[in-house]
Every structure is written in structure tokens, then in C-alpha cells.
Amino acid sequence: MIFGERIRFRGVEQADLETFVRWLNDPDVRRGIGLYLPFSSTDEQEWFEKMRQLPPNERVMAIESVEQDPHGQETWHLIGTCGFFNFDSRNASAEFGIMIGEKAYWDRGYGTEAVRLLVKHGFNTLNLNRIHLRVFETNPRATRAYEKAGFTHEGCQRQAEFREGKYIDVLVMSILRSEFLEPGP
């Protein structure tokens, strides 16, 4: 497992899928991601089987947040998922995706912390040079989290996505190894 301050990444288990289906059918969650159709448990099971066949570095990870109960015991709660895809080994670059599906954890810095942890994993363990992402212009919460985690705006794919009756821009952001190792002022 990969540990941060308030969160950790672990492998996805069969028992997580039910929660994923609930998130992926929530319009507030879906608005920020690539899905736009109702999503069944069967769809999710198929996704899980396919995902497990991917090379280990490209498998989706579960994000968990730690809480202390009144007795001081630590418990972990599933709050989202993240992972790299579109690995380009020759160019040492990869794209990543993240979803904080549990809305009670929105606006509390968990997304930013998860992005920072994933970026650290990408540069320090997977030996990447460049990490990039795409985000809808209609998703300022996510854009702000990426900015806080050190990502730079490098492009705007004009009217690249059709949602809710109109074309919207898709922003492209990236962070380079040199920016991660030697953060600017």
C-alpha cells in the first residue's frame, strides 16, 4: 500500500465494486468524468476483470481515508479511486484519472492530497518524466486541486466534449519531473 498523511492507496477488491457503481451513477460525480450513460453492476464487474489484466502499474487503486474512532482505533474508509493510463514508456509519460466518489469528502483537500501522492509515486517509483491529465472546464473544483498539487495549464482542447446540450472545452494540465523535484517559488 502507498501511504500519505490522511490517505492511502490500496488495490481494488471485489467488495468495492458496489460502492463504485453507486458513485458512477451519481450525476454530480459523473459530470466530471468520461462516463455519460447509466452504469450497471455487470458493467462494473466486466471493467474489474479487464482492469486486472492490465500491467500492474496501470491498475486502478482505491483511495482510503483514515479516521480515529472514539477509542482511538484507526479505521479506513473508501472515498475514491485513481490510477495511471496511456503509459508511454519510451517518452516516460503517463496520463492519470482520479475520482473522489464520496461527496462528503469533497472540498476538504482529499483530492489534492491524493493527486500529490499519485504524482510522487509516478516520479519516485515509476520513474516518469511527465504526468498529464484532462479536465472539463466545467469542473473548477478538480482544476483547483490540480493547480494546488503543482500542475501547469498547458492547453485547452476547444469544444472537445459535448455535455448537457453544448460543447465544452477540455483543459490539459501537466507536471514535469523537474518541477516536482525542485518546486518553484
Partner 1 sequence: MIYGERIRLRAVEKPDLPHFVEWLNDPEVYDGLLIHNPLSLTEEEGWYERMLMRPAQQHVMAIDVKQGLADQGETVWRMIGSLAFDDIDWRNRAAELGIMIGDKSFWNQGYGTEAVRLLVDHGFNTLKLHRIFLHVFETNPRAIRAYKKAGFIEEGRERQAEFRGGRYIDVLRMSILRSDS
Residues of this chain that interact with partner 1 (CB under 8 A) are 90-93, 129-130, 132, 152, 154-162, 167, 172, 174, 176
Q: How far is the CB of 174 from partner 1 (least distance, A)?
A: 6
Q: Which is nearer to partner 1, 3 or 167 (CB)?
A: 167
Q: How far is the CB of 126 from partner 1 (least distance, A)?
A: 16
Residue labelled with grid coordinates 482505533: 73
Q: Which is nearer to partner 1, 75 or 178 (CB)?
A: 178
Q: Which is nearer to partner 1, 2 or 168 (CB)?
A: 168
CA distances (Å), origin 39, targets 20, 23, 27, 68: 10, 10, 11, 33
Q: How far is the CB of 69 from partner 1 (least distance, A)?
A: 45
Q: How far apart are CA 21 and CA 37, in angstroms?
A: 12
Q: How far is the CB of 131 from partner 1 (least distance, A)?
A: 11
Residue 152's Cβ-side half-sphere holds a number of Cα atoms within 13 Å equal to 11
Q: Which is nearer to partner 1, 19 or 174 (CB)?
A: 174
Q: How far apart are CA 117 and CA 63, in angstroms?
A: 10
CA distances (Å), origin 131, targets 13, 72, 157: 26, 38, 17
